[in-house]
Amino acid sequence: MKFQGCITALVTPFKKGKVAEKTLASLVERQIRSGITGLVPVGTTGESPTLSTKEHERVIEIVVAAAHRRVPVIAGTGSNSTEEAIHLTSFAKKAGADGALIVSPYYNKPTQEGLFRHFEAIAKKVNIPIVLYNIPGRTGVTILPETVARLSKIDTIVAVKESTGSMDQASHTRSLCDIAILSGDDSLTLPLMALGAKGVISVLSNVIPEDISQMVKAFAAGEHDRARQLHYRMFPLCRAMFIETNPIPVKRAMSLMGLCGDEIRLPLCAMQSGNEKILKDAMKIYGLKIKGLF
């Protein structure tokens, strides 16, 4: 299966400490109606580190059911325990997910050989398309291009979410293999597409799904000036959306828009007031309707 275009890394809405299931389903519907081409539940943006295994599995079930095969669902199933990652990936397949987004093991700091064996073990156990998630800022280890190239020879490893922030990393990977590259940083989607990336797994599309979708489609269609215009317009909003640790700002923005609550789980906490003002100003300039401002 090909994963491309604008794929949204969904937030997990909470209400009084529990997953807000109806709200989550409504967010899925909004995303699909806005033209996105895929959904990623229980990734970093979905606060997977603080979800119990039962909650993690339930979120996958809800998103798969709400999407109803209209767009691919790529469930976040990574762990720093290979056995746990296999369990979550197996569950995702049984629940009807179309793919699995698997982050490199965090904290353990495995060698490149360890990384290879981790992903190889999951791929051997569960027959599902896998997207590698390369985000050293969160995990403490980079999946090097040579390792990505080795892994790309496994039939079910079909893409890599590139969140290293390095154009050289993407260029080196592309020079070694033809694995699909997906941007993992909203501000770098356009530059990465210029290097051959097929789209983005986006945080910002929780807020402006139509515009992210249009930018990706414009570039893919050769409408580069149009894509650049959209990129430059949304760039200040993108920067504001990452002024604090993701998903703190995006959840606050969605709350201000009336899409869901901004409840998050410790150790994440509410935005600092100064940063919230920066976020609100960026939203207002972009033209987003904010409660109390319009």
For the annotated catalytic residues, the residue numbers are 133, 161
Phi/psi of residue 96, nearest 5 degrees: 105, 10
Question: E strands within 175-215?
Answer: 180-183, 199-202
Q: Is residue 191 packed enough to be buried (19+ CB in 10 Å), middle (13-18) or exposed (0-12)?
A: middle
Contact 183, 164 (CB under 8 A): no
Q: Name the nearest CA neighbour of 132 among 154, 158, 106.
A: 158
**What is the SS3 assignment for 128?**
coil
Instruction: State how far the Cα of 168 lies from the Cα of 172, in Å rounded to an integer.
Output: 6
